[in-house]
Amino acid sequence: MSAVRSEIAPRGGVPAIRVMTVGALDAVLAIEVQAYPFPWTRGNFIDSLAAGYLARVLVADDGELVGYFVAMPGFEEMHLLNVTVASRHEGQGHARRLLAELYALSASFAATAVWLEVRESNARARALYLREGFTEAGRRRDYYPAPAGQREDAILMTRSLVRKQGRA
């Protein structure tokens, strides 16, 4: 895999979180199309940025894009729309770091919870969300496109951001 470089490289060897810009979309899309059979389009990302959604990228010190997220603020909640880590960087804690950034940013919107949908078949992501303190709150029937014109259910999950015993 040839890595697509982001326009902003941090210093110091630790991947840095930056605001997602239109200039980062080539690198974002390179990860997106490899990660999903039904990826977001450039237009989906541009619309999200234009709408003012929270969008962040995680950039390695060599400029390689490691991962990203997009989230939509709502009344007292944050809706995580997309969080993705490049396949070669999976299993290194980057998704948890991106989620921690989302939780911190959510405070500025007075959000008390984060909500998300995840494919029923995505056991790895569901396990991550459970470890992160999310709970299953419901099911959205036929939410996602699936191969051969079929549809797949989404599991609706939520995580409280209200502090309990000193932890958010």
Active site residues: 117, 129
118, 134 Cβ separation under 8 angstroms: no
Residues 142, 163: Cα–Cα separation, whole Å? 34
Residues 82 and 53 sit within 8 Å (Cβ to Cβ): no
Give the bridge partners for 119, in sequence order.
154
Q: In what order do the strands lie in the sheet containing 54-59?
A: 16-19, 54-59, 65-74, 77-85, 113-119, 151-160, 135-145
* 3-state class (DSSP) for residue 119: strand
> CA-to-CA distance for 60 and 90, rounded, in angstroms?
14
Residue type, 28: V
Q: Count of CB atoms within 10 A of residue 51's CB?
A: 11
